């Protein structure tokens, strides 16, 4: 008789399984551990007396994860027949597991306040890797020689057995602080602790501290009323502050504290936070060693939150903290959550590097990322990580400044790569599908089982001579423009001087006078709407193609009618949702397709998502699972061109 314990785990990365494996090594018991697609399964002998204590201890050693779902257990006379996913060593870039966190805050540990603490199953590994395979020789730590204690761990510590990036206070990376007058170095337990204490004190006094973290340079400071915070991320230092200042559902709370530590847009709750950030803020919980140690010292100073902006090494600040080991920072990942639906919006951290199980011999390049076969595995990572490239064909995003000079090079558009990525993730590349791709423009796509076709292409949009386009839309449009110019001369002055690659969401945000003149600004404003229904914004013309200028004319008309911005922004997404649902239904009826893929960052909006679910919830809607809904998924989709 066997006792089976199953955990849903939707990622093909194996850090949760590795943590279980390391923990299990301390028990003398019969255990089989299998990670299959979407599931981690533990198989025990039912009669093992250590079973109960093992499961109780496991709960303390496993972190929360955005990929972990429901769990269940049962008894069976036969072992389940499961196919293990392929195990390939790739460097992680996640937060610290509970065991490593405990070491970092244990004064008796050789990693006390050591910000580069990590193990085989956690930490900032990828920023230090220069090439594959994942070894110390292929990292910027290759010149650091592990001390005797670390050498012993390489042999006997299950968490760090043969770990390529092992280090500690005795043999690891030193950091230094510069205030413009002198430098302070941290190279032992006391000096590491003191450095972070000084940083927290400075921030508490209103100073700014530029710190080189494993995820790039971040400028930390206390947010203040009257200071522009558009480009900043609100960093919550503890759970108390999260509950006090933010209005979250359980899924958002758990995701913020997960080992993946994504950025989420969260509604603010306290008056204090509403004054600083308005109705919503981009929020994060400390993700790497340096940020976690700074947050701990801020808690000691009584601060439940600070903020930071991503920047470069030359950014001005009162203090600079950095280290001499070069790293390659990844773009942080943003996560969308609506009840039980979760998907990455954008970014690289956590998502990449990735391993794809396919036998295709192709090099795919998009957004400085590359998918390439290395021996018997397909890796996705930055192109610089691959030393030599041999392949039968090359697929390159049409906007990419990359030329392989390969005889079989093919260029592809973003919408095609995005749709193929979702189809491949859901294993439906042999089935017909309708695709909606919505970034700066809205595309309706059709996949016939072999090729992605641009079924309803977007109308072109030019910000140049904007009002000339609007005034010729229909009878009376010229009077609308004249009236708008009289009532909003400053906005018209801005719009008259627009040129180049300016999208419709930027133009809309300027019209509405939003501080954040972008899609993000409109989304944030839409989340502030507390009503039950919106107004109808013009999103269509007779041939079902979205007309940018008719849309803007509709916005202008409502603005002249003194419709509030929050209602306007909310209604924009509601109207898009109605339009998308109508066109998709027509295309599905004509093509008999059963699947609908949804890609593009614009779809990561609560009002738009809710509207699509309302109208199309019974259809087989396919969202990305492990890759972003935004542009970074194109490199994965390009494998299947």
**CATH number of residue 442's parent domain:** 3.30.420.40
Kindly tell me if the per-residue pLDDT of 100 is higher than 70. yes
- pLDDT band of residue 615 (cuts 50, 70, 90) is very high
Predicted local confidence at residue 51, as pLDDT: 85
Is residue 312 exposed (0-12), middle (13-18) or buried (19+ Cβ within 10 Å)? exposed
Predicted local confidence at residue 365, as pLDDT: 95
Domain membership of residue 107 (yes or no) is: no
- Total count of residues recorded for the chain: 641
Mean pLDDT score, 388-415? 90
- pLDDT band of residue 240 (cuts 50, 70, 90) is very high
Rounded-to-integer distance, Cα 487 and Cα 479, Å? 12
Kindly tell me if the per-residue pLDDT of 227 is higher than 90. no
Rounded-to-integer distance, Cα 268 and Cα 275, Å? 10
Kindly tell me if the per-residue pLDDT of 230 is higher than 90. no
Following CA atoms 237, 243, 246, 249 in sequence, which dihedral angle do they give, to the nearest 10 degrees? 120
Predicted local confidence at residue 544, as pLDDT: 67
Write the pLDDT tens digit of every residue in 158-188: 999 999 999 999 999 999 999 888 898 999 9
The CATH code of the domain that includes 317 is 3.90.870.10
- pLDDT band of residue 542 (cuts 50, 70, 90) is low
Phi, psi of 603 (to 5 degrees): -75, -10
433 in the same domain as 312: no
Kindly tell me if the per-residue pLDDT of 388 is higher than 80. no
Mean pLDDT score, 462-484? 90
Concatenated DSSP letters of 323-360 = ESS---PPPPPEEEEETTEEEEEE-STTT-SEEE----
In terms of Cα–Cα distance, which of 520, 474, 465, 452 is closest to 230?
520
Q: Which of 280, 299, 329 marks a domain boundary?
A: 329
219 in the same domain as 71: no
Q: Which of 307, 329, 351 marks a domain boundary?
A: 329
Pairing relationship of beta strands 264-268 and 393-397 according to DSSP bridges: unpaired
Domain membership of residue 368 (yes or no) is: no
**Whole-Å CA distances, 562 to 94, 284, 493, 554, 558:** 47, 36, 20, 13, 6
Rounded-to-integer distance, Cα 574 and Cα 532, Å? 11
In terms of Cα–Cα distance, which of 342, 329, 408, 426 is closest to 368?
329
Q: What percent of the chain has pLDDT over 70?
A: 99
Q: Is-contact 70 37, C-beta < 8 A?
A: no
Domain membership of residue 43 (yes or no) is: yes
Domain membership of residue 125 (yes or no) is: no
Rounded-to-integer distance, Cα 13 and Cα 15, Å? 6
182 in the same domain as 60: no
Predicted local confidence at residue 80, as pLDDT: 87
In terms of Cα–Cα distance, which of 72, 300, 96, 64 is closest to 197?
300
> Hey, which residues does 361 pair with through a beta bridge?
none
Mean pLDDT score, 71-91? 89
Structure letter (DSSP) for residue 174: -
Q: Which of 329, 345, 379 marks a domain boundary?
A: 329
Write the pLDDT tens digit of every residue in 413-460: 999 999 999 999 999 999 999 999 999 889 999 999 999 999 998 888
If you average pLDDT over each of 27-31, 42-46, 332-336, which comes out highest? 332-336
pTM, 2 dp: 0.93
Pairing relationship of beta strands 409-412 and 433-438 according to DSSP bridges: unpaired
> Hey, which residues does 15 pair with through a beta bridge?
none
Domain membership of residue 53 (yes or no) is: yes
Mean pLDDT score, 186-198? 95
Domain membership of residue 529 (yes or no) is: yes
Predicted local confidence at residue 538, as pLDDT: 78
Rounded-to-integer distance, Cα 594 and Cα 620, Å? 7
Task: Return all residues near 408 (Cβ < 8 A) that are at least 6 apart.
Answer: 392, 393, 394
If you average pLDDT over each of 29-33, 50-54, 298-302, which comes out highest? 298-302
**Whole-Å CA distances, 245 to 241, 300, 392:** 6, 19, 54
Which domain, by its residues, includes 605? 427-624
Count Cα neighbours of 374 within 13 Å in the Cβ-side half-sphere. 20
Predicted local confidence at residue 333, as pLDDT: 97
Concatenated DSSP letters of 62-121 = PPP-TTEEEEEEEEESS-----PPP------B----HHHHHHHT-TTSTTTT-TT--BTT
Predicted local confidence at residue 263, as pLDDT: 98
Kindly tell me if the per-residue pLDDT of 47 is higher than 80. no
Predicted local confidence at residue 541, as pLDDT: 66
Rounded-to-integer distance, Cα 175 and Cα 187, Å? 7
In angstroms and rounded to an integer, the radius of gyration of the C-alpha atoms of the chain is: 26
Mean pLDDT score, 107-116? 98
432 in the same domain as 308: no
Question: How many distinct structural domains can be found in the chain?
Answer: 3
435 in the same domain as 325: no
- pLDDT band of residue 304 (cuts 50, 70, 90) is very high
Domain membership of residue 292 (yes or no) is: yes
Kindly tell me if the per-residue pLDDT of 343 is higher than 60. yes
The CATH code of the domain that includes 31 is 3.30.70.260
Domain membership of residue 335 (yes or no) is: no
Q: Is-contact 308 196, C-beta < 8 A?
A: no
Predicted local confidence at residue 540, as pLDDT: 67
Rounded-to-integer distance, Cα 295 and Cα 115, Å? 12
Pairing relationship of beta strands 233-236 and 280-284 according to DSSP bridges: parallel
443 in the same domain as 303: no
């Amino acid at each position: 008789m066997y006792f089976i314990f199953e955990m849903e785990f939707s990622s093909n990365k194996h850090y949760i399984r590795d943590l279980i494996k390391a923990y299990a090594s301390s028990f003398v018991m019969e255990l089989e551990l299998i990670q299959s697609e979407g599931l981690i399964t533990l198989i025990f002998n039912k009669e093992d007396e250590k079973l109960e204590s093992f499961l109780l201890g496991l709960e303390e050693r496993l972190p929360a994860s955005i990929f972990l779902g429901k769990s269940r257990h049962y008894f069976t006379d036969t072992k389940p027949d499961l196919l293990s996913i392929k195990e390939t060593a790739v460097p992680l870039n996640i937060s610290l597991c509970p065991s490593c966190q405990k070491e970092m805050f244990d004064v008796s540990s050789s990693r006390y306040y050591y910000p580069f603490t990590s193990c085989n199953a956690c930490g900032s590994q990828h920023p230090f890797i220069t090439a594959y395979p994942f070894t110390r020789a292929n990292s910027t730590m290759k010149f650091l020689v592990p001390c005797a204690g670390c050498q012993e761990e390489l042999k006997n510590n299950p968490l760090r057995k043969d770990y390529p990036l092992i280090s500690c206070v005795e043999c690891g990376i030193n950091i230094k602080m510069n205030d413009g007058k002198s430098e302070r170095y941290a190279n032992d337990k006391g000096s590491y602790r003191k450095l972070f204490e000084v940083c927290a004190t400075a921030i508490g006094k209103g100073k700014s501290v530029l710190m080189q973290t494993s995820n790039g340079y971040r400028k930390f400071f206390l947010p203040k009323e009257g200071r522009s915070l558009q480009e900043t991320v609100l960093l919550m230092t503890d759970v108390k502050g999260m509950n006090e200042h933010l209005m979250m559902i359980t899924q958002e709370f758990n995701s913020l504290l997960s080992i993946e530590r994504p950025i989420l847009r969260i509604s603010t709750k306290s008056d204090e936070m509403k004054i600083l950030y308005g109705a919503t803020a981009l929020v994060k919980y400390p993700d790497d060693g340096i940020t976690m140690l700074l947050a701990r010292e801020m808690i000691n100073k009584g601060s439940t939150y600070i903020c930071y902006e991503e920047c470069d090494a030359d950014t001005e600040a009162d203090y600079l903290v950095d280290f001499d080991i070069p790293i390659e920072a990844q773009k942080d990942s943003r996560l969308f959550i609506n009840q039980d639906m979760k998907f990455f919006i954008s970014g690289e951290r956590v998502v990449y590097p990735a391993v794809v199980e396919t036998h295709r011999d192709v090099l795919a390049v998009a957004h400085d990322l590359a998918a390439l076969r290395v021996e018997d595995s397909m890796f996705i990572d930055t192109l610089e990580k691959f030393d030599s490239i041999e392949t039968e064909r090359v697929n390159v995003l049409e906007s990419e400044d990359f030329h392989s000079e390969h005889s079989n090079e093919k260029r592809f558009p973003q919408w095609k790569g995005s749709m193929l990525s979702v189809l491949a993730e859901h294993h439906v590349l042999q089935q017909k599908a309708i695709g909606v791709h919505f970034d700066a423009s809205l595309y309706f796509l059709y996949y016939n089982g072999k090729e992605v076709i641009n079924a309803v292409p977007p109308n072109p949009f030019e910000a140049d001579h904007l009002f000339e386009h609007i005034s010729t839309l229909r009878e009376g449009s010229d009077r609308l423009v004249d009236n708008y110019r009289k009532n909003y001369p400053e906005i018209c002055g801005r719009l008259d001087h627009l040129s180049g690659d300016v999208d419709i969401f930027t133009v809309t945000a300027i019209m509405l006078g939003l501080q954040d003149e972008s899609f993000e600004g409109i989304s944030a404003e839409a989340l502030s709407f507390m009503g039950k229904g919106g107004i109808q914004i013009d999103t269509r013309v007779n041939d079902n193609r979205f007309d940018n200028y008719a849309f803007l004319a509709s916005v202008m008309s409502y603005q002249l009618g003194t419709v509030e911005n929050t209602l306007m922004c909310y209604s924009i997404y509601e109207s898009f949702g109605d339009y998308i649902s109508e066109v998709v239904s027509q295309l599905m009826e004509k093509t008999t397709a059963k699947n609908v893929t949804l890609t593009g960052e614009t779809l990561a909006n609560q009002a738009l998502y809710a509207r699509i679910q309302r109208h199309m919830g019974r259809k087989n809607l396919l969202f990305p699972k492990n890759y972003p809904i935004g542009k970074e998924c194109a490199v994965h989709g390009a494998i299947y061109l």
